[in-house]
């Protein structure tokens, strides 16, 4: 058994790590139950998001897809329940992973303000996949030697706990700070939120008009914003 596998089995028997895994399961389930119920009831998801917002266009179209919209909601609730039940939590995490990857790509593509929350959910899901490595490894496309876990794993040292949870806090700080500077400009969750950028970013008001008043796509508004920025730069030179 390699040292990494030894640490893995030590972590699996550690109460701090067990508590963290339980916390991650609760968070993942809590993220899908209300959103799934909204879809099952046939209500538009994120009702406060305007229809002329880039992500609002998507939610409007999705809510009009009939029983497909209901199907997504049922799938989300089932996945959440599977994650909450210890015996089926691994299956639930496996089903949750492609769904949260899709959601993350969607929110990054539309510059949604809630991107950092979805990124954290993706990281929590990745942790649970690693937490279930003893079962996940049999699904990987390479031969796995059969290794029996130790009957009595050694207690996990305080140093490893501090290193792990310190790395978690550092990663969360990186996500929060990094997503704050990820884009020069974004549509926000409303026209008012978008216009808050007008004093800080030249051309932001024209960008917001393009999104919320003219109803153009995010890509075309960004292209116009970048053209205006290049003209300003050229004139300044």
Residue 136 pLDDT greater than 90, yes or no: no
**Residue-wise pLDDT tens digits, 30-87:** 999 999 999 999 998 887 788 889 898 899 999 999 999 999 999 999 999 999 999 9
DSSP code, position 189: S
Contact call for residues 51 and 42 (beta carbons, < 8 A): no
pLDDT at residue 138, rounded to an integer: 79
**Cα–Cα separations (whole angstroms), residue 75 to 79, 121, 159, 189:** 6, 17, 40, 26
Name, in order, each residue with C-beta under 8 angstroms of 182's C-beta and a sequence gap of 6 or more. Answer: 115
How high is the mean pLDDT of the chain?
89
Query: pLDDT at residue 206 above 90?
Result: yes
pLDDT band at 154, cuts 50/70/90?
Answer: low
Q: In the predicted model, is pLDDT for residue 1 greater than 60?
A: no
Cα gap 118→18, rounded to integer Å? 23
The whole-angstrom separation of Cα 97 and Cα 91 is 10
Q: pLDDT-based confidence at 142, cuts 50/70/90?
A: low
> pLDDT value at position 155?
65
Locate the domains of the chain by residue range: 3-138+158-180, 191-236
pLDDT at 145: 60
H helix runs in the chain, sequence order: 3-12, 15-40, 54-63, 67-84, 89-109, 115-131, 133-136, 158-180, 191-195, 204-208, 218-236
End-to-end CA separation in angstroms for the chain: 64
Is residue 139 pLDDT above 70, yes or no? yes
């Amino acid at each position: 058994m390699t040292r990494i596998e030894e640490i893995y089995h030590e972590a699996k028997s550690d109460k701090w790590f067990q508590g963290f895994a339980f916390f991650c399961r609760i968070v993942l389930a809590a993220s899908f139950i209300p959103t799934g119920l909204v879809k099952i009831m046939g209500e538009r998801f994120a009702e406060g998001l305007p229809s002329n917002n880039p992500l609002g266009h998507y939610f409007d179209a999705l809510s009009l897809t009939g029983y497909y919209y209901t199907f997504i909601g049922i799938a989300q609730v089932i996945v959440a329940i599977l994650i909450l039940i210890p015996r089926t939590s691994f299956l639930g995490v496996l089903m949750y992973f492609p769904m949260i990857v899709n959601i993350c790509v969607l929110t990054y593509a539309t510059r949604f303000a809630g991107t950092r929350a979805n990124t954290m959910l993706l990281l929590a899901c990745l942790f649970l996949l690693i937490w279930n490595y003893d079962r996940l490894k049999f699904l990987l496309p390479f031969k796995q030697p059969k290794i029996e876990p130790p009957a009595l794993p050694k207690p996990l040292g305080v140093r490893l706990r501090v290193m792990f949870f310190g790395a978690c806090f550092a990663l969360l700080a990186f996500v929060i700070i990094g997503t704050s500077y990820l884009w020069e400009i974004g549509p926000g969750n409303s026209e008012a939120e978008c216009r808050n950028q007008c004093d800080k970013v030249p051309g932001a008001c024209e960008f917001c008009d393009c999104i919320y008043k003219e109803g153009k796509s995010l890509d075309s508004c960004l292209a116009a914003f970048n053209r205006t920025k290049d003209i300003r730069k050229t004139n300044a030179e």
